[in-house]
Amino acid sequence: MAIVVVGGQSRNVGKTSVVEGLIRGLPERRWMAIKVEPSGETGGPGVAVSEEKDGARRTDSSRYLAAGAVRSLWVRTRTDDLTDAMPLILKELEAAENVVIESNSILRFLQPDIYLSVLDPAGADFKESAKQYLSRADAVLVPEGVMGKPEWKSVSLKLAEGTPVLAMRPPGYVTGEILEFVRARIEYSFRTRI
C-alpha cells in the first residue's frame, strides 16, 4: 500500500485539485481518498467520519469520487489535534489498497510514502501546520511561473535542501511531471521495503 499526503499552506491553494489530479492520473492505484479537517461540527465528542457516496455534490470528498476514488471519507475533528481520530483513520488504512490524504496535521501521526506540499507564495496566509512540516515535503507544488517572483524567495528558504519544486498548471493542476514524480516515489518506496 502507498500512502500519499497532500498538504498546503492554506485554503484555496489547490490541495483538493491536486488530490483529484493524482486520483485521475493514477487510476491503477485504486485510491481511497481522505479529507481531514478541523471543524466545530463533528456531531459528537470530537470526531466525525462520513463516507461520501455521491460524486455529483460540490464537496471535496465528492470531488474525489468524481475523479475516480474507490472510496472517499471526510474526517472532522473539533481541533487540529487528530489524536482521537487516529484509531478510526488507521482502521480505514488497513483496508485500503492505496490512500491519498488531504491534510497537514496527519503528519504528526503518519510517515507517508510521499508528502506533497502545495504552496502559493502570493497568498498571505500560511498555516502553522504547513510551516511545521514543510521540511518533510518530498516535493513542493507551486503555480506555474511563481519561482521567478520575489515572494518565492522567502518561501524557498524554508525548504529542505534539494526538495524538488514542481509546477502546477490549472485547471488540472497535476502535470505529467508531477504524476511521474509520484509514480517513481511509490515504486522506490515499495522496492526499499522489500
Calculate the alpha carbon distances from 52 to 41, 46, 77, 128, 149 in Å. 16, 20, 17, 28, 39
CATH code assigned to 3-193: 3.40.50.300
Predicted local confidence at residue 136, as pLDDT? 92
How far is it, in rounded angstroms, from Cα 6 to Cα 15?
A: 6
Question: Residue 42's pLDDT band (boundaries 50, 70, 90)?
Answer: very low
pLDDT digits (tens, 9 = 90+) for 54-112: 777 888 888 999 999 999 999 988 766 788 889 999 999 999 999 999 999 899 999 99
pTM as predicted: 0.90
Question: Which pLDDT score is estimated for 55?
Answer: 72
For the chain, the structural domain boundaries read 3-193
The per-residue pLDDT for 28 is 96
Q: Quick one: cell of 137?
A: 515535503
Angle between helices 60-67 and 15-25 (to 10 degrees): 20
* CA angle in degrees (0–180, nearest 5) for 178-179-185: 90
Residue 128 confidence (pLDDT) above 90? no
* pLDDT score for 49: 85
Mean pLDDT of 156-171: 84
